[in-house]
Chains A and B, each alone.
Chain A
Amino acid sequence: MLEVRCLTKAFGEKTAVDSASFTVDRPMMIGVIGRSGAGKSTLLRMLNRLSDATTGAILFEGRDITTLRGADRREWQSRCAMIFQQFNLVPRMDVVSNVLHGTLNRRSTLATMFNLYPQADIHRAIEILDRLGIAEQAPKRAEALSGGQQQRVAIARALMQDPAVILADEPIASLDPMNAQIVMEALRRIHEEDGRMVIANLHTLDTARRYCDRVIGMRDGRIVFDGTPQQLTTGVARDIYGAGAGFSEAATSTEIETLDRTKPRSAVPA
């Protein structure tokens, strides 16, 4: 379904992503972990074509994504939604308008300038917001919402794109534990109910272990681990993060349950 071949991104002397290769054969939820600067964000940005790869190829259903230009590239971007750490909403516009931005690829510039979205789209936007539990916020400005609510608006915008793949770049890094859980559960539900592929950069191990079917570990631009959450032992994690024996998962955990749990849970709440 998705195949990444020897994908490399160099910024001058520095190589952010160094010949990364992996294959995904069915929609699943993938967590990408690694230290900051390991190339996780660059990898996701290349998948969305926000930035161009230096060499290598990304194939989605047999089509090479890296060579798309102009309208073809924008069409791919509309099928491959992106969620950002800082939400990246338009703060002064209302929530529904922000969600409707997910349809921009299908609308002309003139129609969007005059806010002429079809009624069916508006209704669908509100239904998506309702699915994420924030329909009451529909007419408010995006900037008036809390961080967790804003991230759910961003997820709603992504769902409005009706994408095959959802990329999430540190979706919970600026949220408190409670909101982080809501957002992660929403992403998991989208994967399970809609069958969309979700690839998320995560900065905490336990989140990756708890919500993902597959974990990819990156270090200095290289993929150093690719396996199931069960294979992700503390020793492997130490390798990925280049940490010493003092490394403890619980020390940085944002999961509330960590406080009274010693073993990682594998069960995922639906």
Chain B
Amino acid sequence: MTDAALGKADSPATLDAIQSSYMVQVQRRRLYGGLTLMIFVLLMVSGFVVADDRNAGGFWDGLHQIGDYPAAVLSEAWAKRADLPALMQRFFPALIETINIAAVSTLIGACAGLVLSLLSTRGLARWPRLIPVFRRLMDVMRAVPEIVIALVLIFVLGGGPVPAMIAIAIHTAGALGKMFSEVAENADLKPVEGLASTGATWSQRMWLGILPQVAPNYLSYALLRFEINIRASAILGFVGAGGLGYELRNAMAWGPGRFDEAAAIFILLFGTIVFFDQLSSRYRNRLTEGGHA
């Protein structure tokens, strides 16, 4: 069949048939594509109109005020720019507390997520029948907002960094578990088979067969999560978990007159995120390059 195919020309009739049938296929695909695009645009427009109608303020009326708050903060911070270094120094301990909350919760959450992910990955799970159980468990951990868990825990344990840490760790475990398990699904199973043939236990197989393959990806997801958690732990300060968020709430609640403090805190947060972003990308590069070498 293969050699006969070379050099001979199909009769024009069959070529025409192939061309026209392919054109029909293309037309149909274009029609579907166009319809999908139209439905998307319609949904966006109609949803926007509905939301705008129900809003108390109205989108278009409020639009021109959108820059008012940042402008007020910036102008006041600029007027008192001489105080900013002192303020940043004052808030620095709070920043350390926030970063600590984020770091501990990321570490605990990543460890829990690692175990959960391996237990809920097809082909790797210790108890394949329990995969749906672990998956739903992770869904629940992701579904409940951190702030709700933190509020409940603050009610039980009292204010402070520990409830925030637990709340963020639970969410992190759910989120990272999901991402980790997607990475583990693509891992090569041959090393695991090789280890199984030597009589290794499940934990040994995972530790030696899977982790070396997925470690760069896991680390990069965990570092990304760490950045997200810095922001999350700052927000949890608003509900009494301490750290930078607590100071930010005070500064914002006092309104004009303390905007320089708000500006100082924003600068600290921004600087921290940039710093850890740079740090993590450097480590990630080194890890992946090391993996290739």
Contact = CB atoms under 8 A, between A and B. Distances in A.
Interface string A109-137: 00000111101001100110011111110
Interface in A178-233: 178-179, 181-182, 185-186, 189
B15 interface: yes
A135 B18 contact: yes
A163 to B, nearest CB: 21
Given A127-B15, A139-B21, A185-B6, A122 B33 contact: no
A257 to B, nearest CB: 13
A148 interface: yes
Contacts of B68: none
A134 B10 CA distance: 10
Interface in B1-28: 2-10, 14-15, 18-19, 21-23, 25-26
B29 A115 contact: yes
A138 B22 contact: yes
Contact of B23 (A115, A119, A189): A119
Contacts of A117: 26
Contacts of B33: 114-115
A148 B1 CA distance: 12
A185 B2 CA distance: 12
B6 A116 contact: no
Interface in A134-153: 134-136, 138-139, 148
A1 B228 CA distance: 58
A220 B64 CA distance: 68
A122 B18 contact: no
B1 to A, nearest CB: 9
A123 B23 CA distance: 9
A83 B21 CA distance: 28
Interface residues of B, number: 21
B26 A122 contact: yes
Nearest to A119: B23
Contacts of A182: 2-3, 5-6
B136 interface: no
B23 A134 contact: no
Nearest to A146: B2
A131 B23 CA distance: 19
Interface string A160-180: 000000000000000000110
Nearest to B15: A130
Contacts of B18: 126, 130, 135-136, 138
A117 B29 CA distance: 12
Interface of B: 2-10, 14-15, 18-19, 21-23, 25-26, 29-30, 33
Interface of A: 96, 114-117, 119, 122-123, 126-127, 130-136, 138-139, 148, 178-179, 181-182, 185-186, 189, 270
